[in-house]
A and B are shown apart, each in its own frame.
Chain A
Amino acid sequence: MWERLGKWPVVRQLTGRDRLGRGAAAQSPSHVGLRPRTADADRVAGTVCPYCAVGCAQKAYVRDEKIVQIEGDPDSPISRGRLCPKGSASLQLVTGPQRLDKVRYRAPYSTEWTDLDLHQAMEMIADRVVAARERGWQDVDGKGRRLNRTVGLAALGGATLDNEENYLLKKLFTAMGAIQIENQARI
């Protein structure tokens, strides 16, 4: 009884040093020992900001398999833990409702998106790649020189991707004879 009464702010105010009830006496239990949500993270992943090319190091805090915070890594000799507004918005970028979650498909001449199974989409794309490659195939040029290529396929993108991803893209495209592979570096 006394213990409970002692938590009542007015009692704390009148019996403690905070006679005006503006400090310790007014502090609610939820604000005692408040901890940052990062303190309860299950793990922290070292990552790098996905926006510009400065390469600011980030720490991604994970709790219950969800990202709960992304902020700068003070250990980085490049960024020293700092981030610009875009880097600071990384949490919203990866957890926001704008993120696509399902494959969207627009059939020819359609006016709307429909759903499509991911693996089915991959099979359909593979079919189309094989066909387009064949349609645009060129063995030799007008002078009989080896071309060994297709112009039926093109790709654009890479500046936002990982080196490993660009490597596989260029390798696959080259093996398929597709040459029109480009990215933002040309722009």
Chain B
Amino acid sequence: MIIGSNMAEAHPVGFQWVMEAKGHGARVIHVDPRFTRTSAVADTYVPIRAGSDIAFLGGVIHHVLDNDLDFREYVAAYTNASFLVGEDFADTEDLDGLFSGYDPATGTYSRDSWYYAGTRPPGEPDGSRAKAFSEPLQAGASGAGIDGAADAERDPTLQHPRCVYQILKRHFARYTPEMVERVCGVPQEQFLDLCRAWTANSNRERTTALVYSVGWTQHSVGAQYIRTGAILQLLLGNVGRPGGGVFALRGHASIQGSTDIPTLFNLLPGYLAMPDVEHTDLDAWIADQRSAGHKGYGYDVDAYLVSLLKEYFGDAATPENGFGFDWLPRIDGDHGTYRTVMDMIDGKVSGYFVLGQNPAVGSAHGKLQRLGLANLDWLVVRDLNEIETATFWKDSPEIETGEIVPERCRTEVFLMPAASHVEKEGTFTQTQRMLQWRTKAVEPTGDRRSELWFTHHLGRLVRERLADSTEPRDVPVQRLAWDYATEGEGPWAEPSADDVLRRINGYDLSTGELLPGYLGLKADGSTSCGCWIYSGVYADGVNQAARRTPHTEQGPYDAEWGWTWPMNRRVLYNRASADPEGRPWSERKKLVWWDADAGEWTGHDVPDFPARIPPGHVAPQGSTGPEALCGDDPFIMQPDGKAWLFAPHGLLDGPLPTHYEPHESPVRNPLYGQQGNPTRKVYGRPDNPSNPSPPESGGQMFPYVLTAARLTEHHTAGGMSRQLPYLAELQPALFVEVSPELARERGLAHLGDAHVVTSRTAVQARVVVTDRLAPLRIEGRVIHQVWLPYHFGHTGLVSGDVVNDLFGVVEDSNVFIQESKVTTCDVRPGPRPRGQELLALMEQVRAAAGITVETGTRISTSHGVPHTEESP
């Protein structure tokens, strides 16, 4: 099942395995708004309206539950299906699209009523935390806590009306094939064919893999899209088993690594929560990560954080000073990239580093990005090539409109050449968590330098400047362990990536030995470790990520190529590949199992379970951490050891996924009175207008559904492809794909010019009329969808308007990822107006649609409270 992903185009080399499976008889089904190169080689293509995937998958869940097609033994033993939820819980079925606990004034939920019966929310002093914090993401690795979860009431028969299984059944009761057809536009027979295929291929003997990409994440309900896929795969027993799983295909060489070792505001390495204003000291932070009866490895966060602080501050981190915990900055809300860009426009940010990224093209609402850049004191751009983010002051679209005038733009710009991937050494973490070390092929020439060099020397120079300061705020900079080994001579030598990786792996400080893995980490300051989940990458003093044993010379799981976190496991939660008694569900699908003679777990993969806890083990009362795991608790990072069909904690927008219309949609939500995600993050500002959606009026100005994505021939914002002749020639111009039906309706000619219009701007593109797009019938109306690739900008060998300029900024409340996979638009024949005339057109369009700063910000449909920002 490939949904929300165009795998053949965006991940062609990974797709060889899909083609190989197909050659072995696997059926490949692709669900997507447009017929892509993935659809072309799939067995079945299912067109879907962009932004309706939860309704679609909810329909499959309905099919599973309605026909008793779930993998019952797996579901009963390994998920929280049997747990009872408290009596106060009210579902979206009861409240017309809202869950219990909604506060329309803040647009947030109080989640007390979502807990299991007899459990409570852990340490939530007041309800005010919820909206501002990216808390679910912060709780990532340790799981979200529930006090007393292990003691929650259960009904193993799954019959109790308040058990998760029955709640799930009721929640999706109206997600019938008829409803799927109305909401998604998928004909019923085709939908049922897909349901039959998925369920028939999911049992003891067979597993089904689910693949998604940013087609799922970039939505105002994005986290819940993935939840829906996970719920379905859990119901069908497709998690932790070979050939099963939920695969996120990520789009950048080390975007997985930059999440694990995050350059993200809300996380410290290894998904540890960034301290916030409530964390008065280290103990408060630790207490906040734990809950009563907390099972599994998430409980040991104290060892992970203290070891990190020992790496950060070295000998200066002592038990007496809380290992330097108080030196860490505190967050108190949204400091995400879009918030920061608005803060730039509002004059709150002085300096900005942009490192191997091109937000002027690649981030949603490109104009907002560029206006932010134009209001800085200084900007450092480090890249291989001259990209739009570095040249906004001379060639951005706002120069033409007069919104940026070079002579009046004060931003000082440093454009610094970066070393390429062959001119430095280090590790990338690929999409399945595998770290692969790259050796340096050649030295970088000229001013080209690695980010390691840049960061190391910037730190050195800042430390020199603050060395004699007596300001308390400068203490962490002075105490920082910044003594990495260097290669070469002189003050400007290249730091050693190998040394950095060793310190990420961690040391036993009493012996000076490299640690074998995270199980050796201590909370007493006797170990250091830069990222606990990466501990083991340098086990035995060997750079495990540099291993390159040919696949032809090792077993099917290729354990000696690179290194996969955690502990070189290839399949997460693989304890679930065996039944509760520890026997493989089937011979055909065996992966790990209990070896009774040896008294330990064994198998083809590294078992993802305490090695010596037997299948029938019952944890002692009152225990916590790994010792609290029972023999049938495969989900060792969950506080109750079970996979969550119902998420009592950890999500801000509901314990169960619910179909909400996108922020900008041409139709009224057919399922509920509540139109969109009632907790979505809106930024009601004059520079961030929204297209109206029902029940607001004015949406007819933007009758079509717009989605954007990649082409094989280009890479994201184009900085690494539009500049290369061999790639530029393969897709040399921006185009907009329209169906023949829409072309007739709008008078669009193949290869002619057209412009796509939203409330933000108009983007010009060549028209490509293709049968690959088809209109859908939604709620009795014909809905057209259009598509553009988003790679183009104004520098490079081939150029074009920035498609991301069409999108506004509205985000998923859990993770602050923007909704840039779906919006509404108009498509008009001919080129767009330019300069001042473009601004005039936009004024006219917004006026005609009745758009004000409040448009789209009434996130609760029934309450109608606007959520706007005051002018700075």
A touching B, CB within 8 angstroms = yes
Q: A interface vs B, CB < 8 Å? A: 43, 45-57, 60, 62, 65-67, 70, 73-80, 82-90, 92-94, 96, 98-113, 116, 118-119, 121-132, 135-137, 139, 141, 143, 145-187
- Minimum Cβ distance to chain A for residue B333 (Å): 10
Interface string of B267-279 (1 = CB under 8 A from A): 0110000100110
* B464 CB contacts on chain A under 8 angstroms: 126
Distance, CA A53 to CA B252, complexed state (A): 5
Inter-chain contact A94/B422, CB cutoff 8 Å: yes
Inter-chain contact A186/B462, CB cutoff 8 Å: no
Instruction: Pick the interface stretch among B165-173, B712-720, B771-779.
Output: B712-720
Distance, CA A104 to CA B735, complexed state (A): 32
B396 near A: Cβ within 8 Å? no
Inter-chain contact A172/B459, CB cutoff 8 Å: yes
B477 near A: Cβ within 8 Å? yes
* A155 CB contacts on chain B under 8 angstroms: 263, 352-355
B14 near A: Cβ within 8 Å? yes
Interface string of B782-800 (1 = CB under 8 A from A): 0000000000000010000
Inter-chain contact B414/A125, CB cutoff 8 Å: yes
Q: Can you name the residue of chain A whose Cβ is closest to the Cβ of B357?
A: A157
- Minimum Cβ distance to chain A for residue B136 (Å): 14
- Minimum Cβ distance to chain A for residue B502 (Å): 10
Contact A128 to B378, CB < 8 A, known contacts A53-B254, A101-B445, A179-B329: yes
Distance, CA A61 to CA B31, complexed state (A): 41
Partner of A75, one of B441, B548, B816: B548
* A127 CB contacts on chain B under 8 angstroms: 465
Inter-chain contact B447/A125, CB cutoff 8 Å: no
Inter-chain contact B727/A86, CB cutoff 8 Å: yes
B247-300 interface (Cβ within 8 A of A): 249-265, 268-269, 274, 277-278, 280
Partner of B457, one of A49, A75, A122, A171: A122
Q: Could you tell me the dominant secondary structure of chain A's interface residues?
A: mixed
Inter-chain contact A100/B351, CB cutoff 8 Å: no
Partner of A100, one of B386, B454, B534, B552: B386
Inter-chain contact B446/A101, CB cutoff 8 Å: yes
B377 near A: Cβ within 8 Å? yes
Q: Can you name the residue of chain A whose Cβ is closest to the Cβ of B17?
A: A78
- Minimum Cβ distance to chain A for residue B528 (Å): 12
Q: Can you name the residue of chain B whose Cβ is closest to the Cβ of A106?
A: B413
- Minimum Cβ distance to chain A for residue B429 (Å): 6
Partner of A167, one of B476, B504, B818: B504
Contact A50 to B263, CB < 8 A, known contacts A76-B551, A136-B349, A163-B435: no
Inter-chain contact A67/B268, CB cutoff 8 Å: no
Distance, CA A152 to CA B377, complexed state (A): 10
Distance, CA A47 to CA B427, complexed state (A): 9
- Minimum Cβ distance to chain A for residue B708 (Å): 13
Distance, CA A86 to CA B715, complexed state (A): 8
Inter-chain contact A159/B252, CB cutoff 8 Å: yes
Instruction: Pick the interface stretch among B155-163, B179-187, B336-344, B676-684.
Output: B336-344
Distance, CA A147 to CA B441, complexed state (A): 44
Distance, CA A84 to CA B331, complexed state (A): 41
The 9 closest A-B pairs by CB, nearest first: A55-B430, A157-B355, A162-B426, A149-B329, A77-B551, A158-B263, A126-B461, A45-B441, A158-B258
Q: Can you name the residue of chain A whose Cβ is closest to the Cβ of B553?
A: A75
Contact A169 to B723, CB < 8 A, known contacts A78-B434, A102-B417, A153-B349: no
- Minimum Cβ distance to chain B for residue A149 (Å): 3
Distance, CA A88 to CA B165, complexed state (A): 49
Interface string of B545-576 (1 = CB under 8 A from A): 01011111010001001100000000000000
Partner of B459, one of A74, A145, A157, A168: A168
Inter-chain contact B434/A55, CB cutoff 8 Å: yes
B332 near A: Cβ within 8 Å? yes
Inter-chain contact B263/A182, CB cutoff 8 Å: yes
Q: Can you name the residue of chain B whose Cβ is closest to the Cβ of A88?
A: B726
Partner of A54, one of B364, B430, B721: B430
Inter-chain contact A70/B439, CB cutoff 8 Å: no
B446-467 interface (Cβ within 8 A of A): 446-452, 454-459, 461-462, 464-466
Contact A53 to B250, CB < 8 A, known contacts A46-B548, A80-B16, A148-B328: yes
Inter-chain contact A70/B422, CB cutoff 8 Å: yes
Contact A109 to B406, CB < 8 A, known contacts A121-B414, A171-B312: yes
Instruction: Pick the interface stretch among B5-13, B107-115, B581-589, B842-850.
Output: B5-13
- Minimum Cβ distance to chain B for residue A66 (Å): 7
- Minimum Cβ distance to chain B for residue A112 (Å): 8
Distance, CA A123 to CA B264, complexed state (A): 26
| Sample of 20 A–B contacts (CB below 8 Å) | A53-B253, A53-B430, A55-B431, A94-B384, A101-B417, A104-B390, A105-B412, A113-B415, A116-B414, A128-B351, A137-B473, A150-B329, A155-B352, A157-B263, A167-B504, A168-B484, A175-B477, A176-B476, A179-B265, A179-B274
Partner of A154, one of B352, B357, B458: B352
Partner of A60, one of B11, B249, B422, B428: B422
Partner of A181, one of B263, B411, B423, B548: B263
* B454 CB contacts on chain A under 8 angstroms: 122
Inter-chain contact A87/B13, CB cutoff 8 Å: yes
Interface size class of B (residues with CB under 8 A): 35 or more
Known: A86-B713, A157-B354; 17 extra A-B contacts, CB below 8 A, are A52-B251, A52-B252, A62-B442, A86-B720, A89-B724, A126-B462, A129-B351, A145-B330, A157-B356, A163-B427, A164-B452, A166-B254, A172-B462, A172-B480, A179-B329, A187-B337, A187-B364
B314-362 interface (Cβ within 8 A of A): 326-332, 335-337, 340, 343-344, 348-357, 359, 362
Inter-chain contact A82/B423, CB cutoff 8 Å: no
Distance, CA A120 to CA B449, complexed state (A): 14
Inter-chain contact B350/A103, CB cutoff 8 Å: no
* A187 CB contacts on chain B under 8 angstroms: 218, 337, 362-364, 817-818, 820
Inter-chain contact A49/B253, CB cutoff 8 Å: yes
Interface string of B403-421 (1 = CB under 8 A from A): 0001111111111111011
- Minimum Cβ distance to chain A for residue B224 (Å): 17
B647 near A: Cβ within 8 Å? no
Q: Can you name the residue of chain A whose Cβ is closest to the Cβ of B338?
A: A186
B380 near A: Cβ within 8 Å? yes
Partner of B462, one of A90, A121, A176: A176
B72 near A: Cβ within 8 Å? no
Inter-chain contact A148/B340, CB cutoff 8 Å: no
Interface string of B810-823 (1 = CB under 8 A from A): 00000111101000
Inter-chain contact A153/B350, CB cutoff 8 Å: yes
Inter-chain contact B421/A94, CB cutoff 8 Å: yes
Inter-chain contact A146/B280, CB cutoff 8 Å: yes
Distance, CA A121 to CA B224, complexed state (A): 45
* A76 CB contacts on chain B under 8 angstroms: 548, 551, 561
Inter-chain contact A163/B504, CB cutoff 8 Å: yes
Q: Can you name the residue of chain A whose Cβ is closest to the Cβ of B560?
A: A77
* B458 CB contacts on chain A under 8 angstroms: 122, 125-126, 129, 172
* B340 CB contacts on chain A under 8 angstroms: 154, 180, 182
B477-504 interface (Cβ within 8 A of A): 477, 480, 482, 484, 492, 495, 497, 500-501, 504
Partner of B409, one of A109, A132, A153: A109
Inter-chain contact A125/B13, CB cutoff 8 Å: no
* B414 CB contacts on chain A under 8 angstroms: 103-105, 116, 121, 124-125
Partner of A145, one of B277, B378, B465: B277
Inter-chain contact A141/B332, CB cutoff 8 Å: yes
B828 near A: Cβ within 8 Å? no
B602 near A: Cβ within 8 Å? no
B440 near A: Cβ within 8 Å? yes
- Minimum Cβ distance to chain A for residue B472 (Å): 8
Contact A148 to B356, CB < 8 A, known contacts A66-B442, A129-B458, A187-B337: no
* A96 CB contacts on chain B under 8 angstroms: 723-725
Distance, CA A127 to CA B462, complexed state (A): 8
Inter-chain contact A185/B413, CB cutoff 8 Å: no
B244 near A: Cβ within 8 Å? no
Interface centre among B251, B329, B344, B724 (most CB of A within 10 A): B329
